[in-house]
């Protein structure tokens, strides 16, 4: 493709993108596709000859698009959102155009310095300690793994980095029983071992019980383990329960344990002063992660890790072979030393665009809008005698189920609710996912899409009511 053709195609594509964004709620949220259906439409061999761009773009529309789940659909209520926004998309286009590799200051000084500055902006706007420093990672999974590796190396004076495990280390990591699977994965990868994740019981709000945490730590010490890290959740994945950060932090300090706060989804709420109580006491923690790619209108991927003492991270990851050395190294920040990967995308650009385009006032307004929509919906649900809300709703994730009478067993109710959710999802108008809370099948309704409005919520609620399983005697098919 020559530059002239690029210009022509790019203009047309931007028109297509704008059309898509304007009409995204007319698509089926999730595709009706059988496994293999897309795969078999794609030729078995790569083309020998270059193809015409029109043909490529036609296949994108005819083959790929029908197999997409529309994550930006305002009625996508499943998992956590990966919401984007127009300024973020524009920045991504620039990032791709510049094609910069931002591993070191010298490889793109603006990328490093913009990253430093926007992370300071967000840190200050969110009420995080002004001395903490941040780095952008691809995902919260990577950021948490990085924090756990840094905790591991701090605890053993970098001896595992140097010599590998000696066999004497018996580390333990603690989290609530509602921990995200990325913590399990971090223990698998770091050599600590998944069996050394101690899952602490939760209270009736599904938040970690600090007294149980302390008891587990004391027992582990008696049994010869080294308590290494506590991962507290500022917003669990199932129900956005908020662990008591301050009390957990005090326990970590008492036993010299790294405290990592996983705020992957809910961390965006800290832009609201009225939500900053959630992070009260974080000053004693060591690290904190949140994903702008979930609820901050910033394209996937973009995860931000803040650290009280970044040198633990840098000492864990830093490596400077000859070919990466520069005469500026003593004066500058080389983000390649702040994580696992060497090559780095220019992710700060989209954060900068989003922050400047919305302004903090605009971001807060959007978040408050989502919280208000959730509040109104909760009132509707509470007024319905057959709907049960299964967990407190500190933000915008509502876990609910149909529970008409006490006539059904737990298994029957789980079956009925799963069927109900699938039926509603099959309509293509909405998309919900589920979790289990104390064995109860709970449909999760997360209201965090960039363009979600009251009428999307009303339509989804009416659809749910329309498909409500009637109260006939239960018969399993």
The footprint of ligand PLP (CB under 6 A) covers 80, 139-141, 180, 182, 233, 235, 237, 262, 264-265, 291, 303
Report the alpha-carbon distance of residue 391 to residue 396 in Å, rounded: 12
Report the alpha-carbon distance of residue 152 to residue 156 in Å, rounded: 6
Smallest separation, CB 477 to ligand PLP (Å): 32
**C-beta closer to ligand PLP: residue 139 or 403:** 139
**C-beta closer to ligand PLP: residue 88 or 291:** 291
**C-beta closer to ligand PLP: residue 183 or 367:** 183
- Name the nearest CA neighbour of 370 among 464, 240, 457: 457
**C-beta closer to ligand PLP: residue 27 or 297:** 297
**C-beta closer to ligand PLP: residue 156 or 198:** 198
Could you say which DSSP state residue 323 is in?
G
- Locate all alpha helices (DSSP H) within 259-398, ordered by sequence: 292-295, 310-317, 348-383
State the maximum Cα–Cα separation within the chain, in Å, rounded to a whole number: 77
**C-beta closer to ligand PLP: residue 25 or 262:** 262
**C-beta closer to ligand PLP: residue 80 or 335:** 80
Question: What are the strands of the beta sheet with 433-437, ordered from one edge?
Answer: 387-389, 397-402, 440-446, 433-437
Q: By the 8 A CB rule, do 232 and 241 touch?
A: no
Smallest separation, CB 296 to ligand PLP (Å): 12
- Cβ-count burial 381-397 (b if 16+ within 10 Å, e if not): beeeeebbebbebbbbb
Smallest separation, CB 344 to ligand PLP (Å): 16
Report the alpha-carbon distance of residue 297 to residue 3 in Å, rounded: 31
Smallest separation, CB 451 to ligand PLP (Å): 21
Smallest separation, CB 148 to ligand PLP (Å): 13
Composition of the chain by helix, strand, coil, percent to 5: 50, 15, 40
CB atoms within 10 A of CB 3: 7
Could you say which DSSP state residue 234 is in?
B
- Cβ-count burial 350-373 (b if 16+ within 10 Å, e if not): bbbbbbebbeeeebbebbeebbeb
**C-beta closer to ligand PLP: residue 147 or 452:** 147
Tell me how far CA of residue 111 lies from CA of 176, 232, 351, 363, in angstroms: 37, 31, 12, 23
Burial class (CB in 10 A: 0-12, 13-18, 19+), 347: buried
Smallest separation, CB 99 to ligand PLP (Å): 24
Smallest separation, CB 235 to ligand PLP (Å): 6
Smallest separation, CB 294 to ligand PLP (Å): 7
Q: By the 8 A CB rule, do 387 and 381 touch?
A: yes
**C-beta closer to ligand PLP: residue 160 or 394:** 394
User: HSE on the CB side for 392, CA within 13 Å?
Assistant: 11
**C-beta closer to ligand PLP: residue 265 or 335:** 265
Smallest separation, CB 181 to ligand PLP (Å): 8
- Which residues lie below 8 Å from residue 247, measured CB to CB, with a gap of 6+? 210, 281
Smallest separation, CB 291 to ligand PLP (Å): 5
User: Which phi and psi (to 5°) does residue 241 adopt?
Assistant: -65, 145
**C-beta closer to ligand PLP: residue 27 or 445:** 445
Report the alpha-carbon distance of residue 306 to residue 120 in Å, rounded: 10
- Which residues lie below 8 Å from residue 17, measured CB to CB, with a gap of 6+? 89
**C-beta closer to ligand PLP: residue 192 or 464:** 192
């Amino acid at each position: 493709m020559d530059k002239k053709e690029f210009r022509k195609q790019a203009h047309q594509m931007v028109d297509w993108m704008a059309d898509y964004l304007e009409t995204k709620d007319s698509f089926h949220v999730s595709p009706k596709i059988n496994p293999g259906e897309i795969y078999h439409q794609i030729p078995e061999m790569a083309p020998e000859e270059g193809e015409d761009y029109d043909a490529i773009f036609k296949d994108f529309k005819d083959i790929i698009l029908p197999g997409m789940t529309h994550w930006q659909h305002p009625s996508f209520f499943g998992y956590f959102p990966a919401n984007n926004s127009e300024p973020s998309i524009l920045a991504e286009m620039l990032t791709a155009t510049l094609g910069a590799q931002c591993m070191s200051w010298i490889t793109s000084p603006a990328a490093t310095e913009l990253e430093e500055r926007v992370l300071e902006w967000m840190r200050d706007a969110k009420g995080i300690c002004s001395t903490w420093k941040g780095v952008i990672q691809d995902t919260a999974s990577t950021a948490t793994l990085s924090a756990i590796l840094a905790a591991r190396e701090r605890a053993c004076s970098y001896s595992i980095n140097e010599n590998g495990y000696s066999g004497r280390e018996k580390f333990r990591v603690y989290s609530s029983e509602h921990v995200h699977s990325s913590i399990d994965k971090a223990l698998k990868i770091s050599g600590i071992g998944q069996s050394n994740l101690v899952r602490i019981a939760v209270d009736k709000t599904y938040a970690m019980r600090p007294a149980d945490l302390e008891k587990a730590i004391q027992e582990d010490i008696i049994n010869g383990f080294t308590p290494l890290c506590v991962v507290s959740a500022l917003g669990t994945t199932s129900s956005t329960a908020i662990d008591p950060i301050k009390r957990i932090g005090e326990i970590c300090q008492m036993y010299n344990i790294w405290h990592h706060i996983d705020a992957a989804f809910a961390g965006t709420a800290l832009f609201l002063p009225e939500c900053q109580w959630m992070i009260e006491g974080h000053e004693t923690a060591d690290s904190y992660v949140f994903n702008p790619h979930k609820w901050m209108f910033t394209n996937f991927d973009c995860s931000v890790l803040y650290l009280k003492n970044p040198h633990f991270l840098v000492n864990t990851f830093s490596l400077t072979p000859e070919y990466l050395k520069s005469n500026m190294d003593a004066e500058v920040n080389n983000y390649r030393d702040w994580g696992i990967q060497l090559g780095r995308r220019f992710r700060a650009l989209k954060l900068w665009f989003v922050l400047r385009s919305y302004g903090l006032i605009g971001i807060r307004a959007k978040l408050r809008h989502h919280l208000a929509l959730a509040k109104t919906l909760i009132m509707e649900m509470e007024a319905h005698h057959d709907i049960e809300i299964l967990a407190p709703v500190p933000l915008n994730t509502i876990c609910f189920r149909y529970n008409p009478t006490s006539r059904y067993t737990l298994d029957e109710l789980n079956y009925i609710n799963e069927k109900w959710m699938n039926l509603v999802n099959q309509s293509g108008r909405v998309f919900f996912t589920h979790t289990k809370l104390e064995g109860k099948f709970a449909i999760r309704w997360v209201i965090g899409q960039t363009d979600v409005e009251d009428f999307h919520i009303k339509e989804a609620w009416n659809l749910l009511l329309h498909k409500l399983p009637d109260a006939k005697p239960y018969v399993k098919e």
